[in-house]
């Protein structure tokens, strides 16, 4: 068992009981009513353009004869597919009738080809937003990373780099095997069917309409994984290896973004909404790089925890309004940070205090 500094532990518990900032929560509630409508034209154009550019870049990387050109195409592909994949986060929050056909289109264009169908996140991510779950042992997307050993951070990133291998095994091997081995099926559903970072998280079996969505999405990802492996016998190793390199790089960037999406300073105590906000991170303008490593509104992650139903394209406007409305001593201003490196450094320094 990890032993923490008792002073540090007391400090984390104090943060967990931070009283709610009533003015901030009232302003956020007003903005929810004003900015909660998703714009279909923005969603469709952004997602489809990102996917198209991503696959064009992937094809270019596979066909390029020059190493430099292949790397350039691969970087473009990775960034574009990362943006397209990030819409899985939006799918968990938008109303089912807000964007007719969008979930199906995203799964066909992005989720299945990247082996991250939306059932892996839907019904999971919303638990991270549950008032009494956030930061506790029941939160599928929380680990007290800032309170863990220093080596836990590079390990956290390294595991992400192996994602394409894990997904091929999950869908290409475990899916068909679990259909004929019932005990294995139960284990696959509970332990290998969620995009979560909490290793103790166990998922319930799906029911009703969601079970039907899960079934066809899993079948599609299974067929794609098998086709991907089978492509070696038709097209050789290069297409598969380039795909896996792009996928791995995309997942690593997402894992780095996840690393700085929160401060990870809670040890399991239920937190007030304001405490949850202050444990989360905004990286607003004027910086431009966060638009690449935290796309589709993810640079406003703390704000998203205040306004989970506000679509990604409205978060920048919500941020501008809150900055203008709330006074300098408001908790809202304390959730804004300058960039990636200061955040990584802050979390790394926190791990150094753990004995």
Domain contains 103? no
**Which of 339, 233, 274 is CA-nearest to residue 16?**
274
pLDDT score for 267: 86
Domain contains 112? no
- What is the DSSP secondary structure assignment for residue 110, as one 8-state letter? I
What is the domain count for the chain?
A: 1
Rounded CA gap, 46 and 309, in Å?
19
Both tokens of 350, joined, read 């926190």
Domain contains 29? yes
Average pLDDT, whole number, for the chain? 92
Contacts of 171 (CB under 8 A, 6+ apart): 115, 218, 221, 222, 224, 225
Domain contains 317? yes
Question: What integer is the mean pLDDT of 241-257?
Answer: 97
Q: Give 200's pLDDT tier (boundaries 50, 70, 90).
A: very high
Question: What integer is the mean pLDDT of 266-286?
Answer: 92
Summarize pLDDT for 2-58 with one digit per residue, the tens: 323 333 444 454 455 788 889 999 999 888 888 989 999 999 999 999 999 999 999
Enumerate the β-bridge partners of residue 280. Answer: 262
Question: What integer is the mean pLDDT of 236-260?
Answer: 97
Domain contains 10? yes
Domain contains 48? no
Domain contains 169? no
pLDDT score for 92: 94
Domain contains 242? no
pLDDT score for 97: 83
pLDDT score for 4: 34
pLDDT score for 7: 39
Domain hosting residue 33, numbered range = 6-37+262-352
Summarize pLDDT for 116-172 with one digit per residue, the tens: 999 999 999 999 998 889 999 999 999 999 989 889 999 999 999 999 999 999 999
């Amino acid at each position: 068992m990890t032993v923490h500094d008792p002073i540090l532990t007391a400090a984390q518990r104090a943060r967990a009981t931070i009283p709610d900032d009533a003015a901030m929560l009232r302003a956020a509630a007003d903005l929810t009513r004003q900015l909660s409508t998703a714009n279909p034209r923005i969603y469709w154009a952004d997602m489809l353009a990102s996917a198209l550019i991503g696959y064009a870049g992937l094809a270019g990387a596979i066909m390029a004869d020059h190493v430099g050109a292949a790397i350039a195409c691969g970087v473009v592909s990775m960034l574009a597919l990362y943006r397209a994949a990030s819409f899985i986060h939006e799918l968990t929050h938008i109303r089912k009738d807000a964007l007719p056909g969008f979930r199906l289109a995203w799964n066909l264009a992005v989720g299945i080809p990247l082996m991250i169908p939306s059932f892996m996140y839907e019904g999971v991510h919303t638990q991270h937003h549950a008032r009494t779950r956030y930061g506790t042992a029941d939160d599928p997307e929380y680990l007290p990373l800032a309170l863990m050993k220093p080596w836990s951070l590079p390990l956290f990133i390294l595991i992400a780099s192996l994602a394409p291998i894990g997904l091929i095994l999950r869908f290409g091997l475990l899916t068909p095997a679990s259909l004929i081995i019932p005990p294995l099926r139960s284990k696959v559903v509970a332990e290998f069917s969620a995009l979560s970072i909490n290793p103790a998280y166990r998922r319930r079996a799906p029911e009703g309409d969601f079970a039907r969505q899960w079934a066809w999405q899993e079948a599609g990802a299974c067929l794609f994984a098998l086709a991907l492996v089978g492509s070696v016998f038709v097209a050789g190793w290069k297409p598969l290896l380039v795909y896996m390199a792009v996928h791995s790089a995309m997942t690593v960037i997402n894992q780095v973004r996840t690393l700085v999406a929160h401060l990870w300073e809670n040890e399991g105590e239920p937190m007030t909404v304001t405490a949850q906000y202050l444990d989360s991170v905004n990286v607003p303008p004027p910086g431009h790089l966060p638009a690449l490593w935290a796309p589709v509104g993810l640079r406003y992650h703390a704000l998203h925890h205040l306004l989970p139903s506000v679509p990604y394209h409205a978060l920048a406007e919500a941020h501008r309004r809150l900055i203008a409305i709330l006074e300098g001593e408001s908790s809202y201003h304390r959730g804004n940070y300058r960039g990636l490196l200061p955040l990584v450094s802050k979390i790394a320094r926190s791990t150094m205090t753990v004995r």
